[in-house]
Amino acid sequence: MNALVAYSIDDNNFVLSPERVLYWEQQKTLIVADIHMGKTGHFRKSGIAVPQNVFKEDLHRLLTQVFFFKAEKLIIVGDLSHSRSNKELDLFSKWRQDMAMLKIQLVMGNHDILQEQWYKEVNILVRKKKLTIGKFDFVHDIAGHKSPPGHYIFSGHLHPGITMKGRGRQVLQFPCFYFANNYCILPAFSKFTGTVPVEAKKGENVFAIIENQLLQVQ
Q: Give the mean pLDDT of 143-159.
A: 93
Residues 54-68 have pLDDT tens digits of: 778 888 999 999 999
Q: In whole angstroms, what is the distance from residue 192 CA to residue 134 CA? A: 33
Which pLDDT belongs to residue 83?
64
Kindly give the interhelix angle for 53-69 and 87-98, rounded to the nearest 10 degrees: 20
Residues 169-195 have pLDDT tens digits of: 778 899 999 999 999 999 999 987 889
Helix (H) or strand (E) holding 116: helix 116-121
Architecture of domain 5-216: 4-Layer Sandwich (3.60)
Which pLDDT belongs to residue 168?
66
Residues 23-79 have pLDDT tens digits of: 999 999 999 999 988 655 444 454 444 556 777 888 899 999 999 999 999 999 999
Q: Which residues pair with 207 in a beta bridge?
A: 177, 216
Q: Contact at 8 Å (CB) between 183 and 152?
A: yes
Domain boundaries, the chain: 5-216
Which pLDDT belongs to residue 142?
94
The share of the chain scoring above pLDDT 70, in percent, equals 89
